[in-house]
Amino acid sequence: MSSIQRILHPTDFSEIAASAQVRAQELAAQLGAELHVLHVTSPPSSAITAELDSSLSSSSSQVRQLRARLQRTLPGGAEAVLAVRTGPAADTIVAYADDIAADLIVIGTRALTGLRLLVLGSVTEAVLRTAGCPVMVVRLGPR
């Protein structure tokens, strides 16, 4: 049996995250691991109430679409746990990983070149620095 039993994939519904999700699903299927998919929303600000309502509505729609996509694409019998949390993205991802005792985090980032290669996305970089488990970074190549 694999030592990887729980995989966490954080998503912001971007193309980058979708690429990482495919890899996370493949790994979960190959290893017989439980897949957790986490979407983190920003904490509300009193100055942007109308924008927040719109954002939450959009996010809820994306979560429903993600749930349907997961049900279609996961191998027979496999299931994913879909969670939504509010807070600072990197801190919330790492805290959730700790809560579920994740064995691996699969997160996406854009493939960069030159000096920009040294700087990952701020959330990915913070997760790499603070996670208590291994982190697999899936790069989305330039188009």
CA distance 135 to 131: 7
Q: What is the mean pLDDT of the chain?
A: 80
- C-alpha to C-alpha distances, 84 to 29, 37, 54, 57, 124, nearest whole angstrom: 23, 9, 16, 13, 18
Residue predicted with more confidence, 25 or 62: 25
Q: What is the pTM of this model?
A: 0.79
pLDDT for position 117: 45
Residue 113 has pLDDT above 60, yes or no: no
CA distance 8 to 24: 8
Eight-state DSSP code of residue 121: -
Q: Give the mean pLDDT of 87-108.
A: 96
Alpha helices in the chain (DSSP H): 15-31, 49-73, 89-100, 122-130
**Please, are residues 135 and 128 in contact by the beta-carbon 8 Å criterion?**
yes
Tokens coding 119? 């700087």
CATH fold group of domain 6-140? Rossmann fold (3.40.50)
